[in-house]
Structure 1
Amino acid sequence: MVRSAAVLLREQGTGGTSIDRVLAHSGAPRGSVYHHFPGGRTQLIDEAVRYAGDYIAARIDTAVATDDPVEAVDAVFALWRRWLLESDFRSGCPIVAVAVQPHDDAPQLIDSAAEAFARWREALAGLLGRHAVPKARAARLAALVVAALEGAVVMCRAERGLEPLDAVAEETRYLLAQALGEVPGARSGQDGQHPTQERSS
């Protein structure tokens, strides 16, 4: 039911994630709602947000084991690329779906969304920090990556195409490589030219 709620949040938003739809999607009996989620729909959505946050964080943590920040970010972008294609561009981010809606009667939902974003940023910033990126810049880069990814997903859904995500992925990869000193001349500022830009003759 939690997984089904996360899927529905991605595709229908909070307004479309009702108990009835979760039951239909998951095939769970109605009695299980009251047994597992005594807090009702709010508790179910809250746990779906936490589940989605943990899922992405786990992808980052897997890449952390290889100690490669670029690989970590590439893995997350690739995951979203697959989700968008498989859903025919209906899938957005369940965390965003909750974060952009007012929840005056359930402030814990906003808190859970904030915690998910914070966990992603902290994981990325920590990985960059282990590669000698200064702490303040690592935090800024992590925030930029998360914000750019989420914005690109929204654009892809609107345009029904992958160009925004692919463009953001490429530029993010280059920016991280610069920060890690992997681009020739990046640290010394020899020419600062993007590797995909053609040199003028």
Structure 2
Amino acid sequence: MATDARRRLVESTIELVRRRGVAGTGVADLLEHSGTARQSIYKHFPGGKTELIEESVRTAGAWIEQMIEQMAETLSAPEMLHAFVEYWKQVLVSSDYQSGCPIAAAAYGGSEAPGARELARKAFRGWEQRLAEKVIAQGVPARTAESLATTTIAAIEGAVMMSIADRNIAPLNRTYAQLRELLQIHLAAA
């Protein structure tokens, strides 16, 4: 039961940070959304909201990295790119353009939760590494693969934000088209 309250708090924090950012996510909102009692936060997260935010960033970052790793096991680099973009389209549309990336939100909310910013940095680096490894395995030189991975993550994160602002997946679609073309050029050269 105690772990259930902890899990609900973490999941609620991820969802609210995706929608409202770190600063816009208050303790009262977390309690209401998770259906947990106030003492649950301090029982499971003695550091309060800051510790809860950090654990949520750690959890969300690991979950997305695991998703990328699973894609890498069975998909080519172009297929991974497509699947990753489709994942974000589903997030955007199913949330009525309210939910973005919890890792990006944590990076922006660094002044409220400095540890979350560091965890966001680690998550982004982990994603980049997984993507770069996949492209390297397809013959692209390491330096180029690392640059492609950074460009891919940065472009998709930006396109997700633009899609939220536009309330339309068109920015994500245009970004995907350019990333796909860029990836194909480098894979063909390899």
Output the TM-score relative to the length of structure 2: 0.90
| Paired amino acid for 1:142 | A
In structure 1, C-alpha distance between the alignment counterparts of 2:78 and 2:30, rounded to whole Å:
36
| Paired amino acid for 2:35 | G
For 1:126, the equivalent position in structure 2 comes to 133
Determine if the alignment matches structure 1 residue 159 to structure 2 residue 150: no
Q: 1:13 aligns with which of 9, 15, 21?
A: 21
| Paired amino acid for 1:63 | M
Q: What's the offset of the Cα at 1:31?
A: 2.2
Answer with 1 or 2: which has the greater Rg: 1
Give 5+ residue unaligned stretches, structure 1.
182-186, 189-201
Instruction: Give identity over the alignment, percent.
Output: 39
Contact 2:140 2:187 in 1 (8 A): yes
Q: What's the offset of the Cα at 1:160?
A: 0.9
| Paired amino acid for 1:70 | P
Between Structure 1 and Structure 2, which shows a larger proportion of helix residues? 2
Q: What's the offset of the Cα at 1:106?
A: 4.1
In structure 2, C-alpha distance between the alignment counterparts of 1:102 and 1:108, rounded to whole Å:
7
In structure 2, C-alpha distance between the alignment counterparts of 1:15 and 1:84, rounded to whole Å:
21
Q: 2:103 aligns with which of 86, 95, 98?
A: 95
Determine if the alignment matches structure 1 residue 22 to structure 2 residue 30: yes
Q: What's the offset of the Cα at 1:137?
A: 0.3
Q: What's the offset of the Cα at 1:34?
A: 1.5
Output the TM-score relative to the length of structure 1: 0.85
Q: 1:108 aligns with which of 112, 115, 118?
A: 115
Q: Deviations over 1:32-72 (max 9, x none)?
A: 21121111100100111111111211121011111511222
Q: Deviations over 1:70-95 (max 9, x none)?
A: 22221211111011111111111111
Higher relative contact order (CA 8 A, sep 6+): 2
CA RMSD of aligned residues (A): 1.5
3-state SS of the aligned residue for 1:121? Answer: helix
3-state SS of the aligned residue for 1:65? Answer: helix
Shift >6 Å, 4+ stretches = none
Q: What's the offset of the Cα at 1:30?
A: 2.2
For this pair of structures, how many residues does the alignment match? 182
3-state SS of the aligned residue for 1:14? Answer: coil
What does 1:1-201 align with in structure 2 at a 5 Å threshold? 1-103=9-111, 106-181=113-188, 187=189
| Paired amino acid for 2:178 | E
| Paired amino acid for 2:98 | R
In structure 1, C-alpha distance between the alignment counterparts of 2:180 and 2:65, rounded to whole Å:
19
Q: What's the offset of the Cα at 1:101?
A: 3.2
| Paired amino acid for 1:173 | R
| Paired amino acid for 1:178 | I
3-state SS of the aligned residue for 2:74? Answer: coil
Contact 1:98 1:113 in 2 (8 A): yes
